[in-house]
Amino acid sequence: MMRYLPEEEGFPKLLLEAMNYSMRAGGKRIRPLLMQETYRMFGGNSDVVEPFMAAIEMIHTHSLIHDDLPAIDNDEYRRGRKTNHAVYGEAMGVLSGDALLNYAYETALKAFDCIGSKRVPAALKILAHKTGAYGMLGGQSVDVMNEKHCRTQIDRTMLDYIYENKTSALIESAMMVGAVLAGAEEQQVRKVEQAAKLTGLAFQIQDDILDATGTTEELGKPAGSDAKNEKTTYVTLFGTEGAKCEVDAYTRKAMKLMDELPGEHAFLDRLLLWLASRKK
């Protein structure tokens, strides 16, 4: 992933440095890993997936940079270090997030240079749709709208919409792109999409639980922020134990769908179980 990052040079050097600062901040790299393993599960064996793996992490990192901005969550720490805007200022935080999102698509387009690139247009279409106004950014907008209008008591239907788009959509994109690039059939891609949606819901609910039960040191970001901001989460709706049951149920449904797909996916199964019980 690091070899796809831009060189820090020329007049926009500071912008490029800010982009790379957040990309090099660590993290679980779950989305590119899910993409790679889904690609392998359907028999993919070329390097055409690699630009997309880098791109999906750039898009995710862009979303974190903007989430942390004063206008949204106003967080000072992410992954155990100062957030982008805390280091480079609010204006550069906005610009570096924008630049990273654009650079992600520049990077994904490099897949046309690889063997097996005939499936790239379909993968690009998924990537663009799932990360835009009808996916990740749409979910984020509804989340922000509720916070800024002090709509702290929202029902499960709207909460699921936020989670399915703000979190699940990017995971869906990762796994669907992997399947499409490997030549999966349309019906199989749809099953992957559903499994990924369930995985994303479980992932976000586990985040709710960790925010309520973890520490800042464990999480690498402020703990208890949901309660501080009076946000509606699965924990506020169902309690910690009830939220854990939801994580377990979504994870089991996702694994059941994965079992209906061809190919070896023992590692993916273990990864889904780990995501459902992770501590950070």
Which of helix, strand or coil describes residue 78? Answer: strand
Amino acid 46: pLDDT: 93
Kindly indicate the confidence band of residue 261, based on its pLDDT and cuts at 50, 70 and 90.
very high
CA 275 – CA 280 distance, rounded (Å): 9
Q: What number is the average pLDDT over the span 188-214? A: 95
Within a domain: 146: yes
- Alpha-helix runs per DSSP H in the chain: 13-23, 30-41, 50-67, 84-88, 90-108, 120-131, 136-148, 156-163, 169-181, 186-213, 216-219, 225-228, 234-259, 266-277
Residue 7: inside a domain, yes or no? no
Q: What is the mean pLDDT of residues 13-24?
A: 98
More confident residue, 144 or 185: 185
Contacts 24+ apart (CB under 8 A), 184-188: 184/42, 188/42, 188/261, 188/262
Arithmetic mean of pLDDT over the chain: 93
Q: pLDDT-based confidence at 155, cuts 50/70/90?
A: confident
CA 137 to chain centre: 11
Residues with Cβ within 8 Å of 89's Cβ and at least 6 positions away in sequence, in order, are none
In a domain? residue 6: no
Q: Is the residue at 242 inside a domain?
A: yes
Which residues constitute the domain of residue 233? 13-277
Cβ-contact 38, 178 below 8 angstroms: yes
Structure tokens of 233? Answer: 């989460």
Give me the percent of the chain exceeding a pLDDT of 90.
79
167 secondary structure, DSSP code: I
Contacts of 63 (CB under 8 A, 6+ apart): 97, 136, 140, 170
Q: Is residue 4 part of a domain?
A: no
What pLDDT score does 231 carry? 81
> Is 3 within a domain?
no
In degrees rounded to 5, what are phi and psi of residue 81?
-140, 170
Nearest to 220 by CA among 22, 26, 72: 26
CB hemisphere CA count around 66 (13 angstroms) = 20
Q: Are 212 and 231 in contact (CB under 8 A)?
A: no
Assign residue 140 the CATH number of its domain.
1.10.600.10
Would 239 be classed as within a structural domain? yes
Confidence of residue 280 (pLDDT cuts 50, 70, 90): confident
State the pLDDT at residue 246: 96
Q: List pLDDT tens digits, range 22-45.
A: 999 999 999 999 999 999 999 999
- Average pLDDT of the segment spanning 186-196: 98
Which of 129 and 213 is assigned the larger pLDDT?
129
pLDDT, position 148: 61
Average pLDDT over residues 229-257: 92
How many Cα atoms are found within 13 Å in the side-chain-facing hemisphere of 136? 25
What are the structure tokens assigned to 58, written together? 């750039």
Q: Is residue 61 part of a domain?
A: yes
How many structural domains is the chain composed of? Answer: 1
